[in-house]
Amino acid sequence: MVLSFLIASVIPGLVDSTGIGLPTPPSGPPCATPIDFALLLDESGSMKKPKPVGSMEGPNGSKAFAKELVSQYSLGMDAAIFSVVSFASVATTRVSWSYDAAVIKAGIDNMKADGKTNIVGGFEAVQQLFAHSRVGATKVLLLVSDGKQSDQFGPLQTVVEKAALVKKAGVTVFAWGFGRKVKSAMLQQIATDDSKATLADDIAGLRSYLNRLEAAVCNLSPPLSPPVQGASAREQQTQLREIIGDDSSSLSGGGGNELPWWLPLLLLLCLPACLLGAKKRQKMKRAHVEDNTDLGLGDTAAAPTKKPNGSLRESFKRSNRGSVYGATETEAVSIRLEEVDTQRLSSCSPGLPDDWNTPLDEHDTAA
C-alpha cells in the first residue's frame, strides 16, 4: 500500500486509491499557449429527451461528450485548465479552474437534467470565472445547448448582449447546438463568428467536430495584454493557485499543497538503507545487552546473577568485605571482571595447575 502511494505520487493516474493499476487516459500534445477553457453546458429538463436515457446520460450523451473533449487536451499549470458551468433554471459552477482531470469529470457527472433554460445566467457565471483567469492564456468558451432560452429569462437579445460582454474580455466563444428546437441564427449571434457556430442533429453529430475544435483552439492567439515583466515560474504557479483557490477541486492531489516530484522517489531509494540501518542498530543493541549480562549488569530477572568461584569468595571474606551478595554494585562489577579475566587466562594457558589461583598462605600451609 505504501509503495502504491509513492508510485501514485510520482506518476499521477497510474494507481488509484485502492492500489489497483489504472490506464492513464490519452491526452493530446500541449497547445502553443496555455488554454483557459470554460464549458457552458445545458442541463435543462429538455435534456431528459429522447427517452429512455435522454441527451445527457449514456455513451452518446452530453456528459460523455464533455469528458471526451477534456481528454483531448494536455492539462497542467503551463497547459490547459478547465471550468464547468451548467445551466437550467439557475446556473451552477460545477468546477472552478482546475487541471485535475478527475475533478473536472466528476463535476460533469454531477449535472442533472431538470428545470427551464437560463442561458443568460450561464454567461454571467462564466464571465465571473474569466475575470480571474490567467494573464497571457488563450481564453475559450464552448456553449452546448438543445434549445433557446426560456421566455421568463428574457429574449434572445439578452443572451446576445451578455455573450458580447464575455467576448469583449478577450474570450473566443463557440456556440454549438443540437436538435430541432435550436436555430443556427441564434448560435451565430452568440458565437465570436459564424465559423464557430455549429448545429447537429444530436450529440453524436457534434462529436465529429471535436478534432476541428481542438485545432482551432490551439491555433488561437491569446488576447493582447500587458506583458508580465520578470515573471518567474514560481510567480506563474502562484498566480494559478490564486485563480484556482484552495478547495478540493483545485490542484491535482487536492489543493495547493503538492509534494515536490522528487520526494517520493527519494523515499523509494532510501527505504532499503533505512531498513538495513534499523536492523544493524537492533543487532548492536542485542550485543550490548549480552555484554552487560556477562558482566552482571543486565536485568536480574532475565539473567540471574552467577555466584563467583570459591577462591574469589574466600578471598573476599578474608578482606572483611562480606559476601558477594552483600557487596555494592561497584564491588560486584570488580568481582565479575576478575572472574572473566580468570576464565580467559585459564582457556589460554591450559598447562597451569588447577590450584594456580590458590592464595599463597594456603600453599605455605600445604608445604
pLDDT, tens digit (0-9, with 9 covering 90-100), for 158-212 = 999 999 999 999 999 999 999 999 999 999 999 999 999 999 999 999 999 999 9
Contacts of 124 (CB under 8 A, 6+ apart): 91, 162
Q: Percent of the chain beyond pLDDT 90?
A: 49
pLDDT digits (tens, 9 = 90+) for 258-281: 456 667 777 788 777 777 777 777
* Exposure b/e, 174-213, CB count within 10 A at least 16 = b: bbbbbbeebeeebbebbbbeeebbbbbeebeebeeeeeeb
Label each residue of 192-261 as H, E or C.
Answer: CCHHHEEEECCHHHHHCCHHHHHHHHHCCCCCCCCCCCCCCHHHHHHHHHHHHCCCCCCCCCCCCCCCCC
Q: 323 vs 87, which has greater pLDDT?
A: 87
31-256: CATH number: 3.40.50.410
Q: What is the mean pLDDT of residues 230-236?
A: 51
Q: How far apart are CA 191 and CA 164, in angstroms?
A: 9
Q: Residue 307 carries which DSSP code?
A: P
Number of other CB atoms surrounding residue 320 within 10 Å: 6
Cell triple for 87: 445551466
pLDDT at residue 254 above 60?
Answer: no
Residues of the chain with CATH 3.40.50.410: 31-256
Closest CA to 189 of 146, 156, 150, 212: 156
The model carries a pTM of: 0.59
pLDDT at residue 289 above 70?
Answer: no
pLDDT digits (tens, 9 = 90+) for 64-123: 999 999 999 999 999 999 999 999 999 999 999 999 999 999 999 999 999 999 999 999
Q: How confident is the model at residue 30 (pLDDT cuts 50, 70, 90)?
A: confident
Contacts 24+ apart (CB under 8 A), 54-63: 54/113, 55/113, 55/146, 55/178, 55/179, 55/202, 55/203, 56/111, 56/113, 60/202, 60/203, 60/204, 61/203, 62/144, 62/203, 63/108, 63/109, 63/111
Closest CA to 35 of 86, 96, 95, 99: 99
Q: What is the mean pLDDT of residues 128-157?
A: 95
pLDDT at residue 255 above 60?
Answer: no
pLDDT of residue 247: 43
Torsion sign (Cα): 126, 127, 133, 138:
positive
Q: Is 89 exposed, middle or buried (0-12, 13-18, 19+ CB in 10 A)?
A: middle
